[in-house]
Amino acid sequence: MTSEVVEDECEFYSKAEKYWKDVPATVDGMLGGYGHISSIDINSSRKFLQRFLRDGPNRTGTTRALDCGAGIGRITKRLLLPLFKTVDMVDVTEDFLTKARSYLGAEGRRVRNYYRCGLQDFSPEPNSYDVIWIQWVIGHLTDNHLSDFLRRCRAGLRPNGIVVIKDNMAQEGVIMDDVDSSVCRELAVVRRLIRSAGLQLLAEERQENFPDEIYHVYTFAMR
């Protein structure tokens, strides 16, 4: 429970926002010095996502995606824009969204909106997205705010749309990181928060081939 490790909610958010303002607007900055794992990450995410985009009666559409905690657009550029007609990006750090406009290159013209907002205050446009992708950012939300945000994401889905979370998982409990003001939750806690938002878990997968010294990373698809 984040209530056990987050003493001051306002400080929790403001400290995180300050931390990211000092992070370089590069792929290496987005990945905390682990820029070399970007291709492994993207390739795994693409395989995970494509199982929902294949032909079939419940096929997820490819019209519009939302990248949450988008940073400079690493996931938008390499995962979402190649698969979707348009993408929206949301991030709390204005410098990252400014950098994204050049980083994305010509394909960036298919990014419709750059939202500068923390996810605790962000509401996806209802009935608008085929995929809402949330990667390495849920640790910056308290339990209540994460559950509420996922509930808003559910309302933002088009028919057969999915919400995807990809993030670090703790071995046990909830661990606070005072450096970037974030928490890392164990699997059971994340599953519980998904259920509390009224979402059904469709698929769950552990990321392979990441460095041994980092947290285990899991991907969840839900609707």
Domains along the chain? 2-222 (3.40.50.150)
- pLDDT computed for residue 56 by the predictor: 81
Grouping H, G, I as helix, E, B as strand and the rest as coil, residue 29 is helix
User: What does the angle CA 144 – CA 145 – CA 148 come to, to the nearest 5 degrees?
Assistant: 85
CA 185, 41, 1: angle at the middle one, nearest 5?
5
Question: Does the annotation place 200 within a ligand binding site?
Answer: no
Ranking 48-57, 76-85, 92-101 by mean pLDDT, the lowest is 48-57
* Phi, psi of 66, deg, nearest 5: -125, 130
How confident is residue 1, by pLDDT bands cut at 50, 70 and 90?
confident
Q: Is 187 annotated as a binding residue?
A: no
141 is in an annotated binding site: no
Q: Is residue 120 a known part of a binding site?
A: yes
**What's the pLDDT score for residue 152?**
98
* DSSP code, position 79: I
Residue whose entry in the numeric block shows the structure tokens 């820029």: 35
Q: Which amino acid is at 14?
A: S
Residue 92, marked binder: yes
What proportion of the chain, given as a percentage, has pLDDT over 90?
Answer: 96
Per the annotation, does 60 bind a ligand? no
